[in-house]
Structures are given as C-alpha cells and as structure tokens.
C-alpha cells in the first residue's frame, strides 16, 4: 500500500494489546513507547503529556511498559524513559496550557498545584498554581473553556470571589505561555519565588 509504513515487533505481551472498534491494536502505553523509535523526543513528550492530561493513560502505566520492555536494544524505550525522567507527568493537570505554565513556574516546596479553596462567598475553586503563604493564585486560561459570554461572566465572578478572599490572582493565556515563555518565567519567579 502506497504511503503506509509497516513496523513489526517480535514481542507483544497481553498488556500491550487492546481492541478498538473491533480491531486489535497496541495499548496506548505501548504505542507511546513505539513512537519513541520513529519520532523525536519532543513529539513523544507532548503525546505522553496529552495522554496523561486527558486521562487516557497513567504515569504508572507508562513506567510499567518501560520497566517491562526496557531491555537492551529495545527501540523507543530510551525516548519514553527520558520523557518520564525529564518531565513531571502530573495527572492533576487538566490541559496542555496548565502543563506549560507549571513548567515555567519556579520550583519551590511552597508552590501547590491544583489547590482547592473555599472563597469567602462560599464558592469552591481550584487554583492551577497557588502560593498559600503569600495568597497568590496563578492560572492558565485558554480559549477552550473561556470563549463564550457566559464563560467570561463566570470567569469574572470567580476572579472576584478569589480576590475578595484576599488573594492576588494572575492569569496567563496560550499565546503568552507559548510565544513569550521567558517573560512569563521571569514574572512567575517574581510572583512565586
């Protein structure tokens, strides 16, 4: 078949197999491992993060496939292992924007991810990044959940609740985080450091 590349393996254990729409395929953790044999690190890293954020795989399932197949000479293992060692695949994060924003934040034991708090008006919120001792909230707000007039109103009400509770509230969008990451990193260092 023109335009189709076939890859074969000599080992496909039961945990590496699944059925999708009646068709036998490799499991997602195994597919991510196999991608490491044919794609660059950056693409495998983004695919792994996306799969974890979307709750399609767990960090543990990726570690398990690397542990099980991590023998010498297994193509793809090195790339997925590097992704697991070099990046915080955090199942609490809910979007690629949050992941990128958190990666720009300074590392500190005072910083909490997905901090849940009850505002003075009784509204319960979850803050993407929080520094409780300084009452600073940092959030990534992308277009996915914040585009309609109803979304904008909900966001303004939420922001007022957080601020009325004595917190400083800072928001970053996709373009800021992806187009000017060093500026965002510098600002977060001042805010959260």
Give the pLDDT score at 94. 66
Q: Hey, how many other C-beta atoms are within 10 angstroms of the C-beta on 78?
A: 14
Report the DSSP beta bridge partners of residue 25.
18
Note the pLDDT of residue 117.
94
User: What is the DSSP secondary structure assignment for residue 10, as one 8-state letter?
Assistant: S
Buried b (16+ CB within 10 A) or exposed e, 86-107: eeebeeebbbbbbbbbbebbee
d(CA 44, CA 42): 6
Report the candidate in 92, 44, 42, 90 with the shortest Cα–Cα distance to residue 66: 44
Strand order in the sheet with 124-131: 111-118, 124-131, 136-140, 168-172
Q: What is the pLDDT of residue 54?
A: 82
Mean pLDDT by 10 residues, the chain (193 residues): 73 87 92 90 87 84 83 79 69 72 88 91 93 94 68 89 96 89 94 88
Predicted pLDDT at 88: 56
- What is the pairing mode between strands 136-140 and 168-172? parallel
CB distance 53 to 93 below 8 Å:
yes
Task: Give residue 1's pLDDT.
Answer: 65
Domains of the chain by start residue, with CATH? 14-86 (no CATH), 96-192 (3.40.960.10)
Find all residues with CB under 8 Å of 51, minimum gap 6, and list them.
Answer: 28, 32, 57
What lies within 8 Å, CB to CB, of 54 at 6+ separation is none
pLDDT of residue 69: 82
Distance in angstroms (rounded) separating the CA atoms of residues 53 and 101: 14
């Amino acid at each position: 078949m023109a335009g189709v590349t076939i890859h074969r393996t000599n080992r496909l254990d039961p945990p590496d197999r699944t059925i999708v729409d009646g068709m036998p395929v490799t499991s997602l953790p195994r597919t991510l491992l196999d991608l490491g044999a044919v794609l660059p690190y950056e693409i495998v890293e983004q695919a792994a993060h996306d799969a974890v954020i979307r709750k399609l795989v767990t960090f543990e399932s990726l570690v398990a496939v690397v542990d099980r197949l991590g023998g010498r000479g297994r193509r793809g293992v090195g790339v997925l292992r590097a992704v697991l060692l070099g990046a915080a695949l955090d199942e609490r994060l809910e979007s690629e924007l949050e992941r990128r924003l958190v990666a720009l934040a300074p590392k500190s034991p005072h910083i909490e991810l997905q901090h849940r708090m009850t505002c003075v008006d009784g509204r319960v919120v979850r803050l993407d990044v929080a520094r409780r001792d300084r009452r600073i909230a940092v959030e990534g707000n992308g277009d996915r959940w914040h585009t309609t007039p109803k979304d904008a109103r909900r966001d303004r009400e939420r922001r007022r609740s957080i601020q009325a509770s004595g917190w400083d509230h800072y928001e970053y969008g996709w373009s800021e985080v992806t187009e000017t990451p060093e500026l965002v990193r510098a600002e977060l260092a001042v805010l959260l450091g």
